[in-house]
Structures are given as structure tokens and as C-alpha cells.
A and B are shown apart, each in its own frame.
Chain A
Amino acid sequence: MDRQIMINAEHLKKRYRLGEIGSTTLQHELQSWWAEKRGREDPNQKIGNDRTGTFYALDDVSFQVHRGETVGLIGANGAGKSTLLKILCRITAPTEGRAELYGRITSMLEIGTGFHGEMTGRENIFMNGAILGMKRSEINDRLEEIIEFSEVRDFIDTPVKRYSSGMYTKLGFSVAAHLDSEIMIMDEVLAVGDAAFQNKCIARMRTAAAEEGRTVLYVSHNMNQIRQLCRRCIVLGHGTLIYDGDTEHAIEHYLGQYRSDKPRKQYSPVRPVWLEDHSMRVQYADYPLKDNVFFYGDESVRVRIGFDVYADIRNLCLRVEIRSANESRIGTYFFYDLCNCLAGESKEITVEWSLSAYTDGTFFAGYTFFTRSENGVNHNLDYVEGLTFLHAESTPSKKLAWESNWGFLELSGGRVIDLRTVEKHGAE
């Protein structure tokens, strides 16, 4: 395998001015210019907004990608992924630094760019192909392949405004995937297609990389797709490069930077407005004896929560609400009737729950202390955003690779009551 460099990015920076820019009118511009000229204060300057206030969407990012590599680009929203892609695709210029590209680029920041609803699928293939830099003759050569791959042959002479969003995506991806280019840059493009088509696309990109020596740069929030496609990942956070290397480590880095990645949190007395009760406040929470938030296999999460009591409380209860990384509510643990508390006490409680049913992933917790009235009505005393925990290497008893649409828990309590042959068919 030759190690020919295909993308060489050196110290890329992209600076944006904070506040409102660009939508000024000539009048405002003249006002500002006049004020500046006469040494007065700019009348259009936002109060409290320093004119030099800037921020770097991308701050000194350097990396190299070699031929035939499939590199994932991951990071939280606002980490600079899209800015980086836009610079590499030449949609916007960098503020500093440089990038060299040794090959033609197919950019798929969006599927079906330039598609026009009134034109047929076939016409749009030519339109889209031309925008992506393909010659008419080249598209003609590939037309059969494109139509075949897109699975929309029956509708190829129908205006695309009649297409479903899935068909639209399939056609758009097919055109881009069959371009004669050396570098493919894709931004979360497979989000729409069905699972079968997504797998087909991933397979197509892997082939393109492995057999045709094409270089793929892929952005996604779907870690399963990243795992399937990429050997190497670049993790961005707040515009800087956090990690560059092996995919599994990169994903750990990425998930670990979620919110609080520390096994300990100290709480300020600030609470949401809806929390009207002031009889107690949580002070801190931690995972005792742990220096990270990773939990493996059957390990249980053990949390210690410290709180101060300001008024007498009878039958204090605690509940721990669990959410997934995409903010789905998964379930809640209840710890009833812990104690009666007196004003002035500082207390510490430790609870734990098992992770054996959990799938791999990042989970958020919220800790709520509450009391119950006689007829079981809930009354919240205090709520804090809890510690994050990451679960990895779910127990080997799970005989399947877990799929994301199965949820986050493998439920227990189901069992087979009966299984028997009721009747025999004649087919023997």
C-alpha cells in the first residue's frame, strides 16, 4: 500500500466576527464610516459587543489523509466539522492556513444538490452530475449503473417532485457515488434512506476506498455507521483537533467530552425557576473510587450524593431519571422513604443500579429529591443534572450486534410458555 497523501491540511483557521454582520445597509455603513472619520462612537455598534470580538470556528487544525483511507469526522454540534468540510469543498475560504488536495473532489454536503422538482429523475442526473463536475459523456457511460444503484428505475422519467424523500436521497447518492473522483467528502448524507439502502451505500463507499483507492472523508453522528465505514477518525471539539487515530478510541473521546466527563460534580445553588421548594439543596455528586465515567460489562453505577437540609423533611425520596445520548427518556429508578431529615443537617447518600440490561452508549442522569403526600402526589424538593455514564462491552450473553432501533435496554421478564408442532404441512 502506497502512502500517497491526498489531503494535506496545515494550520487551518476560520474566524467569524461575533454579532450581526453582513446584513447592514449602505446607510448604516456610511454612518459608521462617518462616525469613525470624525472620531465619534459608532452609532451602529452593539452595546457590549466589542468590535474586535471574534471567534474561531476552526482553530489551527492540521491533518493528512492518504489514498484509500476512509476517515470519519466526529464532534458535537458546533465543533467545526461543517466549517472544515466547507473549506475543503471550497465553499468558503479559510482565514489562515492552507490545504492541498491531490485529486478531484466529490462533495456531498447535501444529497441531490441542484435537483429541480419539475425535471425528471433522468434530467436531474445530468444536472446534478454536471454541478459535481462530470462531463455529459461520462454521465452517459455511467447512466445505467447510476439508475441501477438508485433503485428508482421505474420512476426515472417522472418529475422528482413526485418522489418520496427516500427515493430522492437514493437518486442523489447514486449520482455522487458514481463520479470519477479521487476524494469523496460527505456530510451526514445517509440519514434519510432506509436501513437496507444505508448499508448498501456504506458498502459502496468501502469498495470505493478499498478497491478503487478513493479517499473518503465522512461526517456522521451515527457511531455505528462510523464504525462500519472508518478505520480512522478525527475528533473535533470547539474548533480544535482533539484526537486523530483509531476509530474506537476516537469514539470514546467523542462521547467522553459530553457535558461533564468527570466522575464528580459540584453544584452551585442556582436552580431552574420551576423549583420553588427551598428545604434542601444538593451540593455534590460523585462516583466513589472512580476517576472516569466509563462502566464496563456488568459493572454497577454507584453514585454518592451530598446535600444540605434547610427545613425538616419527612420521608425523603430520591429518583434517578435516565436519558440516552439523544435525550430519549429511558426510565427512572426510585428510592423511597430514605429518612426523615432535620434542618441544618448535611447528609450523604450512596445508591447504585445495575447496567446489565443496558446497551453500549452514553447515558445522562437527573437526580430529583422529592416527598409524597398521603395520596401519593409527588412534590419536588430539588433537582440537579447528574453525572454522565458511559457503558461499554455489554455482556457477551447478548448474542447479536445490537441495532439502534431496538432501543437502549434489553428487557428481562419475557419467557417462552409453550412451543409445539400443531400440524404438519404436506411439503416434504
Chain B
Amino acid sequence: MSQINKTTYYTLISPEHRLCDLKLKEVITYRELIVLFASKELRTRYKQTILGPLWLIIAPLMTSIMHMIVFGTIAGIGTEGMPKILFYLAGNSLWEFFSGVFTRCTQTFSGNAHLFGKVYFPRLTVPFSYILLSSFEFSVQFLIIIALCFWFSLHGFSFPYAGWLLIPLLLIWLGLLAMGLGIIVASLTTKYRDLNVLVRFGVQLWMYATPIVYPLSVLKENSLRSWVLINPVTAPAELFRMWVLGVGSISASSVVVSLTLTVISILAGMMIFNRIERSFMDTI
């Protein structure tokens, strides 16, 4: 019989809650669960569909073609000399990643109420698994971008291939930002259901406040530009195109703003999340 080590497995249950305790140690212990949650979602999502995982590619491709027609051709917004399809696909993949993590995280409590009500595990594993899941989806789409880049490089375009190595950093940055904001909203939705409605169209509007369907450079020095620069997703979006395609303009101040907001939102998010998590079963 194994000797029970008191110090290893001691748990204290009490009404008090330390706000600064992020419980990250526990999340690390359950890291396998993060992977399992993500793989479960991937494995079960495409059961009983005809095209299966192909949808991962079809959806952003269709959106990009649509954007190409509406914004590129009809509205005539420039793409900084890049092939239109590549410009829009890059923007859309990144936005899909951000909005995917964000929207999923806002559903953390309402979508898992059944599970949360029956068994304890560190709840933060769920939003982390959403980052992993969206990263995987993004990687698949990134393969298309790589393929297109090679195609266009045969036709006289050149790309900063070394910049591609920095993409994972960008994913972590954007993923944490999306998760931080997402779990703040998730914590609030346990009490205020109407935030769900706000999230649904808010994300769509947010995309237009981010240089996704237009390059930042089309905005002249005016108040509109400074508003777009405050948007924390602007800097990662521009950096992404800069690193992948070699086009874009970015100011140091917007990078600083975005990084600061990322740190604040992820820390505040986890604090609020951990606090709500203790009693949300009573209110949901």
C-alpha cells in the first residue's frame, strides 16, 4: 500500500479565495487534458460530414475570395503590391485564429456547464485547449499560405522566409490576448446573458476596426488611424503580414499598447475566471 504523503495531496476547501493565486501550477499538472480536449473537439467535429477537415481550408478560402471581390475589386482598396488572394487569406487566417479563440473562450462556462457541474479539474484547461485547437486550425490554413507563396515566388514575388519562424510567437501573443478577453466575457456572461448577443456581432464589427481587409497604410494621419492603432489586434495583424509577406507598416507605440493590454487582460482574466469558477454552478 502506498504511503500517503500528506503534503503532496492536501486540499483545503474554504470560502476564502486568494485573488492573486492564478492556479497555473494545477493547469500544468493537467496539461495532458488540454491536449485531449483539443483533440476530442477535432476528432468529433467532422464525424458525419462529407468534406470533413477540408472545411478548415474551404471556409477561409471562400471568405478571402469574397473579400477579394468586394474590397479589392469593387471598393478598390490597395493590397500594398501583394497578390490580393494572399493578402486577404493571410488576414483572414489570423482573424479566424483570434476570433476563434475569443468566441470559444466566451462560451467556456455555458458550453461546459454539464461537465463543470459533475467533476473538478482546473477550469483554465478549457480556454487553454481552445488556443491549442485554434492554433492547429491556423497551421492548416498556414500551409495554404505557404503553398501560395511558393506559387507566387515563381512569378516574380519574393517573401521574407526567415520571418515565418516568428509566427509561433505571434500566435502565443494573440492567443493570450484573445483568451484573456474571452474569459473576462465568459465570467461576466454567467451573470449577464445578454453579453452573448454582444459578442456575436461585436466580433464581426471588431474585424473592420482591424487592418484585415485593408492595410494600415491606407489610413492617413487622422483620428481614424489612431483609433485603429489603439485596437490591440492591429499590431499583431500588421506584424503578421510584415513577417509573412514582407509588407505593412507598424508603429512601436501600437506594439507596446497591444502587449500591455495582452498582459493586463490575461492576468485580470485569470483572476476573474478563478473567482467566478468557484461559484458559477450556483448562478448559471
Contact = CB atoms under 8 A, between A and B. Distances in A.
B135 interface: no
Interface stretch (B9-17, B52-60, B95-103, B253-261): B9-17
Nearest to B47: A118
B11 A90 contact: yes
A114 B192 contact: no
Given A130-B32, A135-B32, A23 B119 contact: no
Interface in B244-284: 278-279, 281-284
A4 B17 CA distance: 27
Contacts of A133: 30, 121
A212 B1 contact: yes
A89 interface: yes
Interface in A85-142: 86-105, 107, 109-110, 113-114, 116, 118-119, 123, 126-127, 130-133, 135-136
Interface stretch (B65-73, B110-118, B143-151, B226-234): B110-118
A266 interface: no
A114 B44 contact: no
B191 interface: yes
Contacts of B120: 89-91, 105, 107
B242 interface: no
A213 interface: yes
Interface in B6-33: 6, 9-15, 17, 30, 32-33
A26 interface: yes
A21 B283 contact: yes
B44 A88 contact: no
A25 B115 CA distance: 24
Given A103-B4, A136-B32, A86 B281 contact: yes
B40 interface: yes
Contact of B116 (A29, A91, A94): A91
B265 to A, nearest CB: 20
A96 B32 CA distance: 34
A22 interface: yes
Given A87-B13, A100-B10, A109-B119, A127 B4 contact: no
Contacts of A93: 13-15, 17, 278-279
A131 B115 CA distance: 9
Contacts of B12: 98-101
A24 interface: yes
A96 B190 CA distance: 22
Contacts of B119: 89, 91, 107, 109-110, 113-114, 131-132
B40 A92 contact: no
A382 interface: no
- Pick the most buried of A96, A102, A105: most chain B CB atoms within 10 A of its CB: A102
Interface in B68-98: none
B216 to A, nearest CB: 34
Contacts of B10: 100-102
Q: Taking chain A's interface residues, is the majority helix, strand, or loop, or is none over half, making it mixed?
A: loop
A116 B98 CA distance: 27
A93 B192 CA distance: 21
Interface residues of B, number: 38
A108 to B, nearest CB: 8
A135 B36 CA distance: 11
A20 to B, nearest CB: 11
Interface string B109-142: 0000001111111000000000000000000000
Contacts of B116: 91
Q: Which of A16, A109, A133 has the most CB of B within 10 A?
A: A133
B43 interface: yes
A130 B116 CA distance: 14
B195 interface: yes
A27 interface: yes
B15 A96 contact: yes
A80 B144 CA distance: 56
A67 B40 CA distance: 36
Contact of B194 (A26, A88, A95): A26
B123 to A, nearest CB: 10
Given A107-B120, A131-B33, A94 B281 contact: no
Contacts of B225: none
A32 to B, nearest CB: 13
A100 B4 contact: no
B13 A25 contact: no
B14 A94 contact: yes
B15 A95 contact: yes
Interface in A20-51: 21-27, 29
A84 B183 CA distance: 28
**Residue among A88, A131, A213 having the largest count of chain B Cβ atoms under 10 Å:** A131
Given A93-B17, A101-B12, A132-B121, 7 more contacts: A100-B12, A101-B9, A119-B44, A130-B32, A131-B33, A132-B119, A212-B1
16 contacts: A22-B283, A26-B194, A86-B281, A88-B13, A91-B116, A91-B118, A93-B17, A103-B4, A104-B9, A107-B120, A109-B117, A109-B119, A113-B118, A127-B36, A132-B119, A135-B32
**Which 8 residue pairs spanning A and B have beta carbons closest together?**
A22-B283, A98-B14, A90-B120, A93-B278, A99-B13, A118-B44, A101-B11, A26-B192
Interface of B: 1, 4, 6, 9-15, 17, 30, 32-33, 36, 40, 43-44, 47, 115-121, 190-195, 278-279, 281-284
